[in-house]
Amino acid sequence: MPTNDQVETASLACPNCGAAKASKIRQTIRSGKLFWSESTNCLICGTQIEVDGTGFPPENIRKILYVEYGKWKIRLTSKKISPVTLKIIRELFDLNMEKLRRIIENFPDIILPLTNVEATWLAQHLGRVGEKPTIELQSD
């Protein structure tokens, strides 16, 4: 399981010429926040691109990380889901009430499409309010 400052990466072909392993995507947790980046430095065609941000990466980057590392979920060990836990999940993922209702229905599993880094990040936040979550690979 990734820890603070640990990175998940995936190598990709150059978006311009298709040269293998010319691009990298990564996602990490630093100081309790999610960061992501995509960089290309192609030695074949000279393409150089750097894009990064905080929070959740664009969906195309998340999909690549899902393929590389799988989709993950959180399992809570508490007997019932607390209002504080629901508030944290709702705020971190900007969920509407319908999606929050689905989370309540799936308790003790929190099934959202999560990368391993995102699941670790959520587990860290939930741990701060007394939850003892485990992180598990989702079965498809």
Given this structure, which CATH class describes domain 72-137? alpha beta
- Residue 78: count other Cβ atoms within 10 Å of its Cβ: 14
pLDDT confidence of 2, banded at 50, 70, 90?
A: very low
Q: Which residue intervals of the chain bear CATH 2.20.25.420? A: 7-69
> What pLDDT score does 102 carry?
86
Tell me, rounded to whole angstroms, the distance of Cα 41 from its chain centroid.
24
When pLDDT is averaged across residues 48-61 and rounded to a whole number, the result is 95
Please write the tens of the pLDDT for every residue from 16-36: 999 999 999 999 999 989 999
Q: Which residue intervals of the chain bear CATH 3.30.1390.10? A: 72-137
Torsions phi, psi for 116 (to 5 deg): -60, -40
Rounded to the nearest integer, the mean pLDDT of the chain is 89
Tell me, rounded to whole angstroms, the distance of Cα 90 from its chain centroid.
15
Helix H or strand E segment including 91:
helix 83-93
Position 5 pLDDT exceeds 70? no
> Pseudo-torsion of CA 3, 22, 47, 64, nearest 10°?
-60
Q: Domain 7-69 adopts which CATH fold? A: N-terminal domain of TfIIb (2.20.25)
Per-residue tokens: 57: 């990466």
